[in-house]
Structure 1
Amino acid sequence: MTTAPAAEADRPRSRAGRAAAVALSGVAFAEVCAAVIGSVVLGRGVSAALDSFVVTNAAMGLAFSMCGLLIAWHRRGNPIGWLLIADGLGHATSAVAVPLVQYGQDTGWPTAALRVLVTVGAYAWPWSIGLCLPLILQLFPDGRAAGPALRVLMWATVATAPLFVLEMGAGPDGMGTGLSGYLVLSGHAGLAPLWLVSEIRVVITVVIGLVALAVRYRRGDEARRRQLLWLLQAVLVVAVVLTVWGVFASGPVLILLAIPLIPAAIMVAILRHQLLDIRLVFSRTVLYALLTTGVAGAYMALVAVLDTVMRRQVGLGGSVAATVLIAVGFNPVRVRLQRVVDRILYGDRADPMRAVSRVGERLDAGLPGVLEAVREALRIPYAALNTAGEVVVSGRPPHHLHTYPLRYGKQDVGELVVGLRPGESRLSGADHAILRLLAAPLSVAVHALALSEQVQHSREQIVVAREEERRRLRRDLHDGLGPVLTGVTFKADATGNLIATDPDAARELVAELRTETAQAINDIRRLVYDLRPPALDDLGLVGAIRQRATHLRRDGIAVHVTAPDTLPALPAAVEAAAFRIATEAMTNAVRHSRASRIHVRIDADTQLQLRVSDNGDSPHAWTPGVGLSSMRERAAELGGSLTAGPGPDGGQVAAILPMGAS
């Protein structure tokens, strides 16, 4: 965090840096303007300006310096902006030197002054090609070397740059002006082996820059890779253009105007790399560059072969046959190359089944592994799953997000949130097609995870309930039945000792033993009833409920039980749950609604249906209490359901219990 004094101290340096960038870029701009105006005033014609590289140097000087100014203004600590300004100054100085020398020759300037201008012009632009541009490639985009080894190679580039400058500047041609500069080597032509080394050195420095870009691309995140693709896109276009112009000596000098694409791409990559989806542009550029190269090579090879075979034996022109064959084979090659390039940049977007298979293979890795597979399949920067309040995230969220619902059957199980690629405001049709297919395994994974969590939660509840029940039984046996039986044992011993000596006291102890034994029997019955009401085994479900209804009738409550004459065999758990729910519902009706009539109805087919209704005063909304919660839990434990609340004529409780529960 920058402190206030440090920020205040940094402001003058920031203003000075920006002022220096503006001044240097202004010099380059003034030189470009002077070169253009001078060429027009001299009237030498466009052809002469092109042949002397005034037009191309002026264009490169303006592009490099202005792009460098923007970077230096907004990223003052990044040396790439200053390297671009220096590159632009070199080209602009060479551009303005030619018309100045020509104007001086026409107006009779001193020869010494003209030779100085020729020297400056000849030695200015080679620094741009031999030093600035290779360093820009090696330091892009953050201004630091990509590693210790590349840092050493960067300094080697700096140290060997004067060799290329000497090769270009010390030549005797005098920039096409007819004059020689002061730093010309008389034996320049005889140093051809040295100049070959210089040319190789330029190629090597550019290759080092490309290697540095490749290293950064491999190590970088999504944002860094998009920055690199901007520069790689420009370098690819310029490389194709310069190959055609330099290697095959084909095309006008204006073809060099492709070089300003490099500073423009660098500026956008550093300042606005999310301007558009550069991966789509790069994909198409790579595709058509490969196609162009392949078609050109195939055309030349076929012309050479068919010229020999067909012209002599068939009499058909070889170039015509080659053109026909290339036209026939062009589209299949284009389609195949398009798939290869798109797979590199967009993953399996064009192959939905492959994407689904990849996601399916990662289902056992959990939701994080599934999201990683989705990102790999679509080459997207971000993916997240929202499931019942839980969020699983993979990657960093970009500015634009798209939400895709996940459904399992008719149930919404969550949402898949994907980050759109930079430059995209919506998903393409291919993306939607894959997401529709991926929604199925993702929904299954989310639903399975939810079920697994529910099963685990149920297991935990079962264990807790079992241990609580054991604790209650132990407490009741230890604190209630245990002391009573211990007392019975002691009194039985005392009774035996008193029978012969004191029969009256023995009879009193026997009476106490009878009372305590009856109490122990009641405790045992209570424990047994808590485990399972004995009436269920003696009378069945309907009989047990009717027995309970009889007790309520003694209190003046009219209770009517409607049930089939014979119920199917019910699992013990269903019987116990239905009895507990019925007795709890009847008891609540008596206690809370002041009901005078209660109706219990039991039906059974594929499931047991129990309904308890009353004519009491029922509030508009029932407040969940221990009894109501207990009834719902008993139904839920068996996979059933329970509804309870006020009805049109009073309160009612309705439970549905599956017959297959055990």
Structure 2
Amino acid sequence: MSSPSRIGTTVAFALSALVVLELGTGVSAAIAAGWTLSEAIDAFVVTNAAIGLSCGVAGVLIAWQRPRNPVGWLLLAAAVSQSGTVAGAPPLDLAVQHGASEPMLRTLATLSGYAWPWSIATFLPLALLLFPDGGLTGRFRRSAAALAVLNGPLFAVHVAGDGVAGDPVQPWLVIPAITTVGTAVEILNLLVYVLAVIGLVVRYRRGDEQRRRQLLWLVLALVLVVVVIVPWGLFDAGPILQLLAIALVPASIAVAVLRHQLLDIRLVLSRTVLYVVLTALVAATYLGLVTLANRVLAGSLPGNAVLAALVVAIAFHPVRVRLQRLVDRALYGDRSDPVRALSGMGERLRAGDPGDGIGPVLAAVCDALRLPSAAVVRDGIERARHGSPDGAVESVPLVYRGEEVGALVVGVRSGQRALDRTDRAALDVLAAPLAVAVRATELSASLQRSRERIVAAREEERRRLRRDLHDGLGPVLTGISFQADAAGNLLASDPARAAELLTALRAAATEAIQDVRRLVHDLRPPALDELGLVGALRQHADQLGAGAPAVDVLAPDELPPLPAAAEVAAYRIGAEALTNAVRHAGAGHVTLTIAVGDELELDVRDDGGSEGGWTPGVGLTSMTERAAELGGSVRLTAGSDGGRVVARLPLGSVVPADAVAEVTRTRETVA
């Protein structure tokens, strides 16, 4: 353990020891003064001791385990403050009984009166504002914290500084005029707590799954405190011991910070809120119906109470179901309403950035079902994730058109061992659109990779063209320029030499033209623009040389305009297939059939024999690659009865005639 940690631990245990000392002093003095339990309760000693002890235990645990979290230190300060009143009140009475000096009496009265207001007005509100991680971000929370710090001395002076009417022993600081602003101080104290609660609500709405579970522990304690304390504070109903409920707040803070995953807090809180609200509704409805019946029937009849009980009994179940649905939606999300969850997923998809993939959809799943995490796994590899699991995980298959495209792996809520049937049913519904989103994301990624390959291929082709122009055509043109200058200089003085230079210049120009034609042919065969696909293939067949087998090119009288990429690929594949059949198959007859429908199909057949099949080479590989680049396919078969090449190329949208004309004009300009 580092030195700062040891110092923090020492201070934390020292403060907790001080709390124990204060409580021990107060209890011992109360016993020595002859107090009864009832007197100790009426003097708020019992309640202050319980609250101080709860704050002390929670504070020392947090400060020990999380020394950098100021929440633990604030709870320790609240414990010292709250227990200070316990250490002051009974000793004050004991000192009065034994005739102690006035300075001692006034000191004990000051300790008794001024100690506890600080915990209520400053330390506990600050702990709520900094809960659970000790951060104080945002102008709202910082302003509320400043009010809590200001509220401490004002509230202490308001509570203790006015003195106690008729009490012969007064604190050192007595300000009678403080009663004129007492209402404003009470309102400020209430405002601080309202702001702290609002801050908790905001953090719950903006927090992740872990933060929400931590906040729910505190919410549970606050619900119980409100249920117990509000009737006592507003109507002065019930015993003082109801204040013991405040001790639940520091206890819940300690559990939330240190062991928030102890159990399913949502289940506990949902049932608590449900039955608290139901109890209040039942009581209010019953009393209201009895009162109304007594007034309407002008008498207090036993039958009125029976009638009211009957109405309450009839309405109890539908009201409970409705309330349970509202509470479950607040804590478990839309697991009982998958349609609402699907709507949320759709909104995330519409509002999200396409580059985000399925991350927003997974976030929608977690938000809809209040799950700690969700991930898509395929082939054992995690493709996307939102959140992080705290414990067990469960998997739901993602199926798209009968094919499993992955699995949705979700984290089980803290405190649960497994998802229940309602969760599983909701996930089964959400899995269908999620599978579509996963498939769409994969297709989008595949498309992006294809685009990247196309761009890479284009740049490589540009690099090759630049190299050919620079290393081949460039020097030839430069030489032509020099030879032209030299011939011009020699025309008058040496005509014979000038003629020789012009002859060489002619040869160099011819070479340059051949280089240009070669480059142009590599880009796109000129025959395609001059003769069309069918005519270009027939021309290629005629150029195969004497002794070649007869080649028939069967095609429709007129082909529709074809995409340039498909037309070039079809020519290259057809020419390669014809060349292979003539040179390697030993065929006597070759037939090339062209058909155009939804796709362009080339079928090249020869009657040559090939018992062992074809050996894959550069030509066969290039045919397959050219078709694959367009999303098409090439099927190669060879046997004793001949060989066959069938290429299918998707056409996509039909190329407009004006686009073809523009390509032709560009082609002619370059040539």
TM-score range, shorter chain: 0.5 to 0.7
State whether residues 359 and 385 of structure 2, in contact with CA within 8 Å, keep that contact through their aligned partners in structure 1. yes
How big is the shift at 1:19? 1.7
State whether residues 541 and 575 of structure 1, in contact with CA within 8 Å, keep that contact through their aligned partners in structure 2. no
Query: Structure 1, residues 5-59: CA drift from partner, whole Å, max 9, x if none?
Result: xx97xx2x54333222212212323454676788899998766665554543333
State whether residues 610 and 654 of structure 1, in contact with CA within 8 Å, keep that contact through their aligned partners in structure 2. yes
Change (3 A) 1:181 1:85: farther
Residue equivalent to 1:321? 307
State whether residues 302 and 322 of structure 1, in contact with CA within 8 Å, keep that contact through their aligned partners in structure 2. yes
Matched, 1:375 2:367: no
How big is the shift at 1:242? 0.7
Amino acid of the structure 2 residue aligned with 1:446: T
Matched, 1:71 2:59: no
Query: Structure 1, residues 546-576: CA drift from partner, whole Å, max 9, x if none?
Result: 997x98x98xxxx999x9x988889885974
How big is the shift at 1:244? 3.1
Amino acid of the structure 2 residue aligned with 1:112: A
How big is the shift at 1:73? 2.3
Task: Point out the more displaced range, 635-644 or 79-88.
Answer: 635-644
Residue equivalent to 2:228? 241
Unpaired stretches in structure 1, ≥5 consecutive residues: 1-6, 173-179, 483-512
Q: How far, CA to CA, are the matches of 2:629 and 2:117 in structure 1?
A: 84
Amino acid of the structure 2 residue aligned with 1:231: L
Q: How far, CA to CA, are the matches of 1:618 and 1:240 in structure 2?
A: 87
SS of residue matched to 1:112: coil
Amino acid of the structure 2 residue aligned with 1:636: A
Q: How far, CA to CA, are the matches of 1:525 and 1:205 in structure 2?
A: 85
Residue equivalent to 2:73? 82
Return the TM-score normalized by structure 2: 0.66
Q: How far, CA to CA, are the matches of 1:639 and 1:338 in structure 2?
A: 55
Query: Structure 1, residues 42-92: CA drift from partner, whole Å, max 9, x if none?
Result: 998766665554543333222110111122223434443233223223444
How big is the shift at 1:288? 4.2
Q: 2:193 aligns with which of 203, 206, 223?
A: 206
Amino acid of the structure 1 residue aligned with 2:231: V
How big is the shift at 1:462? 10
Q: 2:610 aligns with which of 583, 593, 614?
A: 614
Return the TM-score normalized by structure 1: 0.67
What is the 5 A alignment of 1:398-547?
399=390, 406-411=398-403, 427=419, 428-429=423-424, 431-443=426-438, 445-446=440-441, 449-450=444-445, 453=448, 456=451
State whether residues 638 and 657 of structure 1, in contact with CA within 8 Å, keep that contact through their aligned partners in structure 2. no
SS of residue matched to 2:433: helix
Matched, 1:640 2:632: yes
SS of residue matched to 2:100: helix
State whether residues 311 and 317 of structure 1, in contact with CA within 8 Å, keep that contact through their aligned partners in structure 2. no
Residue equivalent to 2:52? 61
Matched, 1:155 2:149: yes
Query: Structure 1, residues 180-212: CA drift from partner, whole Å, max 9, x if none?
Result: 673269x99999776655544543332243244
Query: Structure 1, residues 517-568: CA drift from partner, whole Å, max 9, x if none?
Result: 9xx99x99999995669999899999998997x98x98xxxx999x9x9888
State whether residues 642 and 653 of structure 1, in contact with CA within 8 Å, keep that contact through their aligned partners in structure 2. no
Q: How far, CA to CA, are the matches of 1:125 and 1:469 in structure 2?
A: 85
What is the 5 A alignment of 1:16-55?
16-32=7-23, 50-51=41-42, 53-55=44-46
Matched, 1:112 2:100: yes
State whether residues 169 and 184 of structure 1, in contact with CA within 8 Å, keep that contact through their aligned partners in structure 2. yes
Amino acid of the structure 1 residue aligned with 2:339: M
How big is the shift at 1:445? 3.6
Unpaired stretches in structure 2, ≥5 consecutive residues: 478-505, 655-671
Amino acid of the structure 1 residue aligned with 2:610: D
State whether residues 385 and 392 of structure 1, in contact with CA within 8 Å, keep that contact through their aligned partners in structure 2. yes
Residue equivalent to 2:657? none
Residue equivalent to 2:491? none
Query: Structure 1, residues 423-481: CA drift from partner, whole Å, max 9, x if none?
Result: 56655325513432432542464256357547856976997899899999999x999xx
What is the 5 A alignment of 1:9-20?
11=3, 13-20=4-11
State whether residues 213 and 265 of structure 2, in contact with CA within 8 Å, keep that contact through their aligned partners in structure 1. yes
Query: Structure 1, residues 133-180: CA drift from partner, whole Å, max 9, x if none?
Result: 2333344341648545334413321230323441797366xxxxxxx6
Change (3 A) 1:601 1:447: farther
Q: How far, CA to CA, are the matches of 1:360 and 1:143 in structure 2?
A: 34
Amino acid of the structure 2 residue aligned with 1:207: V
State whether residues 126 and 168 of structure 1, in contact with CA within 8 Å, keep that contact through their aligned partners in structure 2. no
Residue equivalent to 2:292? 305
How big is the shift at 1:331? 3.5
How big is the shift at 1:302? 2.4
Change (3 A) 1:618 1:540: closer
Task: Point out the more displaced range, 295-304 or 377-386.
Answer: 377-386
Task: Point out the more displaced range, 446-455 or 250-259.
Answer: 446-455
State whether residues 28 and 89 of structure 1, in contact with CA within 8 Å, keep that contact through their aligned partners in structure 2. yes
Residue equivalent to 1:502? none
Q: 1:350 aligns with which of 336, 345, 350?
A: 336
Q: Give identity over the alignment, percent.
A: 35
Q: How far, CA to CA, are the matches of 1:46 and 1:81 in structure 2?
A: 31
How big is the shift at 1:630? 1.1
Task: Point out the more displaced range, 40-49 or 264-273.
Answer: 40-49
Amino acid of the structure 1 residue aligned with 2:336: A
Residue equivalent to 1:4? none
Amino acid of the structure 1 residue aligned with 2:345: V
Q: How far, CA to CA, are the matches of 2:337 and 2:7 in structure 1?
A: 55
Residue equivalent to 2:502? none
Q: How far, CA to CA, are the matches of 2:9 and 2:161 in structure 1?
A: 34
Amino acid of the structure 2 residue aligned with 1:156: L
How big is the shift at 1:308? 1.4
What is the 5 A alignment of 1:223-302?
223-276=210-263, 278-279=265-266, 281-302=268-289
State whether residues 53 and 83 of structure 2, in contact with CA within 8 Å, keep that contact through their aligned partners in structure 1. yes
